[in-house]
C-alpha cells in the first residue's frame, strides 16, 4: 500500500493547505493571500474571492475581535504530473471553530465540519492554490 504522503511533492502540496489555515488562524493574512495563484479562486461564504488581492481584502475586513481555529483531518493528496503546469488536489475534512470576544462569550463555538478540496498548480514561486472549495459535511447542508 502506498503511503498517504509518499514523496516530497505530495508533502509540499499538503504543506500549502496546512500553512494556509495556520496563517489564517494567526491572522497573517498576507501569508494566506500569498498562497493563492495569481488567478486563484476561493469560494468562501458564498462569495468568489479572486487572486491574492481579493483574498487579502476579504480577510482584512474580518472583525479584529474574531479568533478562529481550523483543524484539518483525513488529508489526501492526488498529483497530476501529466498536466501542464503540474497540478494536485488536496482533499481533507476541516473542523472550524470561532470565537468573537465582542459577543461576550470566551468559549469557542463549533462552526461546522466541512469536506474540502484545494486545487493546486506548480508555479515559479512553488505550489499555489488555483481553486479552494468546500461543502458542509456536518451538519449537512
pTM: 0.89
CB 7 within 8 A of CB 21: no
Over range 71-92, report the average pLDDT: 94
Over range 131-139, report the average pLDDT: 93
- The alpha-carbon radius of gyration of the chain (Å, integer) is 15
Joined grid coordinates for residue 120: 493546486
Separation CA 128–CA 26 (nearest Å): 20
The runs of H, that is alpha helices, within 49-131 are 51-60
Residue 1: the pLDDT is: 39
Separation CA 123–CA 116 (nearest Å): 22
Per-residue pLDDT tens digits for 98-123: 987 666 667 788 999 999 999 999 99
Among candidates 18, 44, 49, which has minimal Cα distance to 135? 44
The secondary structure of residue 117, as a DSSP letter, is E
- Is residue 41 predicted with pLDDT exceeding 50? yes
Amino acid at each position: 500500500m502506498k503511503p498517504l504522503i509518499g514523496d516530497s511533492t505530495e508533502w509540499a502540496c499538503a504543506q500549502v493547505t496546512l500553512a494556509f489555515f495556520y496563517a489564517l488562524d494567526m491572522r497573517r493574512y498576507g501569508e494566506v493571500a500569498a498562497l493563492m495563484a495569481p488567478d486563484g479562486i476561493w469560494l468562501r461564504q458564498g462569495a468568489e474571492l479572486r487572486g491574492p488581492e481579493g483574498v487579502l481584502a476579504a480577510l482584512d475586513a474580518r472583525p479584529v475581535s474574531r479568533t478562529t481555529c481550523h483543524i484539518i483531518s483525513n488529508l489526501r493528496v492526488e498529483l497530476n504530473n501529466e498536466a501542464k503546469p503540474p497540478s494536485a488536489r488536496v482533499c481533507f475534512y476541516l473542523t472550524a471553530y470561532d470565537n468573537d470576544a465582542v459577543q461576550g462569550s470566551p468559549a469557542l463555538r463549533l462552526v461546522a465540519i466541512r469536506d474540502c478540496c484545494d486545487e493546486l498548480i506548480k508555479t515559479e514561486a512553488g505550489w499555489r492554490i488555483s481553486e479552494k472549495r468546500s461543502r458542509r459535511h456536518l451538519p449537512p447542508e
